[in-house]
Amino acid sequence: MSKIAGQQAPLGAEPVPLRTAFYNGTSGSGITKMMLPVGKLPLEYLPSLLKRLPKQGPRVVVSPRVGEDAAVIDAGDRYIVVATDPVTFAIDQIGRYAVHVNANDVAVLGARPLWFFVAILLPESRTTPQLAETIMDDVGTTCEELGVTVCGGHTEITQGLDRPILVGQMLGEVTPTRLVQKTRITPGDLILLTRGVAIEGAAILARERSEWLRGPVDAQVLARASRLLIEPGISVVSAALAAANLSDAVHGMHDPTEGGLAAGLFELVAPAGLGMHVIRGEIPVLPECRAICDALGLDPLKLIASGALLIAVAPDRADSVLWAVAATGVPVAPIGEVRPANEGIMIETNGTLQPLTLPARDEIARAFDSD
């Protein structure tokens, strides 16, 4: 049995809805007439949506499923890992975001990112040659930093947009013995978190909405938050590859993005159909993020969180993984452990244990609603 937020359903069955306002029943019959909110499609709706896809070919090692951000294709002595992800919230340095979020999705499977494709959609009546050049420069510089080659893509002026949108696709390679799959996660595994939350969300809000935050947030704190995209940055590649060197100890990795750490925790254990127990007081929240979230009334655990990395490790090998990741200069700490499915996905706050709620949408979308 799998249990998500206190509701049970047999593995492989249609999911029991977490938010019945958006999903109609358990039969997969469709969505209600109510419109879905901005952001990822509801997590509980994805299984029925994915069932509409044709059967996977025999060389597909990891196929589309809830909690997976990349596919794996058998290429003989190597696996090709492929991820695709858009950037829709950020405008400033959007090219940098696009490269990093796709590289992260490849690296958490133990693969080194190598080849990048990008579709650049630019808004009608708002696009200058300078904007296009700036985005392309950001893409090129960031790929060069990671040792990634830009292999192709597409550019166009698109009707109906009010901002640029980039859709990236990253490919990487990994040997079969180094592939990290979340299906290996087992009860008792420790859950580690690097850096803290929410680097990306705090950086976007500081850069894109500084006028809201001047006054409620100290000027120096706001300046530091605006630099989080660069320092510490949102790449998890070095930490993920260091952990993947201990692939016998590392049972799964995930980079929390939209929906924040809360959604990332669900996605970490979804492929294995397990539960978890995390301790809120052990979750590092960056002071810049805390200040911004307090000023805007946001939950930092549900704010877009690129730059953090979740790692599920065998408890008897946790020290080795902690050391390997810390050796890259990235802080890392345990925040909880994986539990059997029937214990649910739980968070302990000040000694009280309760179900961790899956965000209906990212807090940054809620913040931007006030525009």
pLDDT in tens, 249-293: 999 999 999 999 999 999 999 999 999 999 999 999 999 999 999
The answer to whether position 128 is within a domain reads: yes
Q: What is the CA radius of gyration of the chain?
A: 20
Cβ neighbour number for residue 205 with a 10 Å cutoff: 31
Instruction: Decide if 31 is inside a domain.
Output: no
Q: Is 195 in the same domain as 244?
A: yes
Instruction: Tell me which residue has tokens 């008897």.
Output: 316
- Shared domain for 254 and 143, answered yes or no, is no
Q: Are 237 and 109 in contact (CB under 8 A)?
A: no
Q: Are residues 201 and 163 in the same domain?
A: no
Here the CATH number for the domain that contains residue 99 is: 3.30.1330.10
If one counts every other C-beta atom within 10 angstroms of the C-beta of residue 308, the result is 29
pLDDT at 344: 96
Instruction: Say which amino acid occupies 362.
Output: D
| Burial grade of 183 (CB within 10 A; 0-12, 13-18, 19 or more) | middle
Q: 269: how many CB neighbours lie within 10 A of its CB? A: 27
Shared domain for 186 and 118, answered yes or no, is no
Look at the chain and report how many structural domains it folds into: 2
Do 117 and 139 belong together in one domain?
yes
d(CA 304, CA 318): 27
The CA distance from 143 to 64, in Å, is 26
- Position 111 scores a pLDDT of 98
In this structure, are 115 and 139 located in the same domain?
yes
Residue bearing tokens 């999903």: 23
Of 161, 179, 197, which residue is a domain's last? 179
Residue 30: inside a domain: no
pTM equals 0.87
Q: What's the CATH number where 290 sits?
A: 3.90.650.10
Tell whether 358 and 310 lie within a shared domain: yes
Residue 34 lies in a domain: no
Domain boundary among 159, 179, 199: 179
173 and 188 assigned to the same domain:
no
Same domain, 230 and 256: yes
For the chain, residues with pLDDT lower than 70 are 1-34, 370-371
* Single-letter amino acid, residue 285: V
Instruction: Tell me how far apart the alpha carbons of residues 136 and 134 are, in angstroms, rounded to a whole number.
Output: 5
The answer to whether residue 37 is domain-embedded is no
Separation of alpha carbons 259 and 362, rounded Å: 4
Closest CA to 356 of 8, 18, 39: 18
Residue 232 CB burial class (10 angstroms; 0-12, 13-18, ≥19): middle
Residue 198: what pLDDT?
94
User: What residues have CB less than 8 Å from 10, skipping those under 6 apart?
Assistant: 1, 2
- Identify whether 357 is part of a domain: yes
Q: In this structure, are 248 and 353 located in the same domain? A: yes
Within a domain: 6: no
Please state, in angstroms and rounded to a whole number, the distance separating the CA atoms of residues 231 and 198.
13
d(CA 358, CA 250) in angstroms, rounded, equals 25
**Domain residues for 88?**
59-179
- Note whether 124 and 160 are within 8 A (CB): yes
Inter-residue contact 278 to 348 (CB < 8 Å): yes
Local structure of 107: helix, strand or coil: helix
Alpha-carbon gap, residue 203 to 290, rounded angstroms:
12
Dihedral (CA of 371, 233, 266, 29) sign: positive
Query: Are 344 and 207 found together in one domain?
Result: yes
User: What pLDDT, on a 0 to 100 scale, did the predictor assign at position 341?
Assistant: 97
Residue 6: per-residue pLDDT: 31
Q: Among 179, 199, 229, which residue terminates a domain?
A: 179
Q: Are residues 143 and 191 in the same domain?
A: no
Strand-strand pairing, 352-355 and 345-349: antiparallel
Q: Who's near 87: CB < 8 A, 6+ residues apart?
A: 94, 97, 98, 101, 165, 166, 167, 168
**Residue 26 in domain:** no
